[in-house]
Structure 1
């Protein structure tokens, strides 16, 4: 949780989060953070608007495994190719806003009780 709530928001544009060509040159704007060695948190950050969007984190079935079709990078690359998450900054922002409303609805009363 510290990674998502503190480390990344404090400096989302640092070099350690740049993925190079891992997802292909067409997706160089995506970033990722590593935790517990085989897990990746993929996100986008727009410097001008200071918007940070977490798009996907892999699970046990998609842990980092080189040259495997279930590898976190291979799965996320395929997700991008299929348009989920959207690659366009505007579409991604709209999708994130919609998901935020859905999450609020799912949490319901828990959110209302928070100070």
Structure 2
């Protein structure tokens, strides 16, 4: 987690300004707290815990995958969220099985990435299930729980 903090809006990683929508930011910070607690309790073995592994995967996905190329074809969703939501990207590879992290990016006027949401253990990928990560995220977009445009996301992070 060198060079950036999930508490810092606009952290620059590989030339991209990263912003955290509150749903992602809160989840990440809670996960970080839990891992720090594990470290205090068992400094020799905390890195074997599933929470540490999840935090590590999320962090590496941001630093090593998204920050390298947010427009990589691996992030393309197609019509998974519906044809009106094709602008959303998601990280699948590099995360634990059945986890997905959703984001948007733009290059103009600045190179910005907003990480909006990552599912939790209650919304794991399970095709056909009402709690499937894609179904849950679609409903969140429809209800307005997550802003659907990059401009709205940036405003919600209080930087626009």
Q: In the alignment, which residue of structure 2 is the partner of 1:47?
A: 107
- Which one has more relative contact order, counting CA pairs under 8 Å at least 6 apart? 2
Q: In the alignment, which residue of structure 2 is the partner of 1:27?
A: 85
- 2:116 match: secondary structure: strand
Q: In the alignment, which residue of structure 2 is the partner of 1:103?
A: none
TM-score (norm 1): 0.81
Residues 3-43 of structure 1 show CA distances to partners (whole Å, capped at 9, x for unaligned) of: 01221111000100010000000000000001112000000
TM-score (norm 2): 0.59
Provide the alpha-carbon RMSD of the alignment. Answer: 1.2
Q: In the alignment, which residue of structure 1 is the partner of 2:120?
A: 59
Q: In the alignment, which residue of structure 2 is the partner of 1:6?
A: 64
Which segments of 5 or more consecutive residues in structure 2 lack a partner in the other structure? 1-58
> How far apart are the structure 1 equivalents of 2:148 and 2:73?
21
Size of the alignment, in residue pairs? 98
